[in-house]
Amino acid sequence: MQWTNNKFITTLGISIVLALGMISVVFGVIHISRGGGNPVPLPALLMAFAIVFVLGSVFFEDRGADRVGALVGGGIVAAIVSLITMLVCGGALYLLTNGMNTGIDKIISMLAVCMVLGMAAFSYLRSHR
């Protein structure tokens, strides 16, 4: 498959991916709040945290942060990435087990709203580079 240079298809694809991520995070919060627990094995989550912590610390240090600031920034980024990973996996698990109870009309409506929000966020971030 060849990637396209068509900006309409690219933007639509990015909007759909962002929307699916947002929906998965929302259902992940529902899954965890209903007592579902952590769907990601703890060793995998710790390894992801460690990798992102190291990469984030190096990133912030290269941007001019002092050592403590780079470590704090790396820790914050690693915690956010770990939380998002946990929520996305929980959301996928929730949709696989309770997707039919939610209703396809609600999921499609959520996808439409999240596509609009994702496109707005993408356009805003692209214009402020």
pLDDT digits (tens, 9 = 90+) for 39-75: 889 999 999 999 999 999 999 999 888 889 999 999 9
pLDDT digits (tens, 9 = 90+) for 69-106: 999 999 999 999 999 999 999 988 888 888 778 778 88
Chain centroid, CA 28 distance in Å: 11
Supply the pLDDT for residue 129.
Answer: 60
Domain ranges of the chain: 35-102
Residue 79: exposed, middle, or buried by beta-carbon count in 10 A (0-12, 13-18, 19+)? middle
Supply the pLDDT for residue 4.
Answer: 65
Q: Where are the alpha helices (DSSP H) in the chain?
A: 7-33, 42-62, 67-102, 104-127
User: Which residue in the block uniquely carries the two structure tokens 């240090």?
Assistant: 61
For the cut 60, the answer to whether the pLDDT of residue 1 exceeds it is no
pTM of the model: 0.76
Supply the pLDDT for residue 51.
Answer: 96
Supply the pLDDT for residue 2.
Answer: 60
For the cut 90, the answer to whether the pLDDT of residue 121 exceeds it is no
For the cut 80, the answer to whether the pLDDT of residue 27 exceeds it is yes
Q: At what angle do helices 67-102 and 42-62 cross, to 10 degrees?
A: 140
